[in-house]
Amino acid sequence: MQWTLVIPLKPLARAKSRLSDTAADGLRPGLALAFAQDTVAAALACAAVKDVAVVTDDTLAGRELGALGAHIVADEPGGGLNAALAHAAAVVRSSRPDSAVAALNADLPALRPLELARVLDSAAEFPRAFLSDAAAIGTTLLAAAPGRELRPAFGADSRARHGASGAVELRLDEVDSVRQDVDTGDDLRAALALGVGPRTAAMAARLLIEGK
């Protein structure tokens, strides 16, 4: 089974506010874009991924991620993360009703295509499935098989909420790169330890230089 991934990205100027202890205001938008670029590039390199749709209203992000090969979907509802994901999934299925669709976080800079393929292949066994984040509180991926609604419930305690919605939790080892989202400085250090993509690595080097 091949999947269409929908990846949400808020306006870069408002992204990654919890990294304020690690990155200055002027660097956080670039860091958020780098995370998204490395996430999209890795996703497009995954054999289980047919295509990627990024839902965003950020002009710069749309241009840069579109250049990587992602389809850009406008955040027309303007109703927050879950509304954006539901809208993007509906847009995808308006032209391809039988698509398998999965929502993926935009802040997975250490994402490895083979690990993502393993998660998606496992998700294909269930009508709806999800993968918890490294903290075992949130969710980094939510998948819906053909004919099934995505029903996203991202946000605080999304692991519990996705489980309560009937989605099956994927309990996989050795997929750390798919779990390691980045909200805090500690998260960024954990992602760097796994090995991040080239754009995040370049931005991390800037953090070190400008932090001196």
pLDDT tens-digit profile, the chain (212 residues) = 999 999 999 999 888 777 877 776 678 899 999 999 999 999 999 999 999 999 999 999 999 999 999 999 998 767 899 999 999 999 999 989 999 999 999 999 999 999 999 999 999 999 999 999 999 999 999 999 999 999 999 999 999 999 999 999 999 999 999 999 999 999 999 999 999 999 999 999 887 655 43
Residue ranges for the binding site for phosphoenolpyruvate? Answer: 139, 155, 158
- Using CA atoms, how far residue 175 sits from 53, 92, 94, 162, in Å, is 22, 27, 31, 19
As annotated, the binding site includes 139, 155, 158
- pLDDT score at 209: 56
Domain tally, the chain: 1
Torsion over CA: 127, 49, 117, 197 (sign): negative
The pTM for the full model equals: 0.95
CB of 131 closer than 8 Å to CB of 163: no
Q: How far is residue 162's CA from residue 155's CA, in Å, rounded to a whole number? A: 10
CATH number at 122 reads 3.90.550.10
Q: Which domain holds residue 120?
A: 3-210
The per-residue pLDDT for range 78-108, each reduced to its tens digit, is 789 999 999 999 999 998 999 999 999 999 9
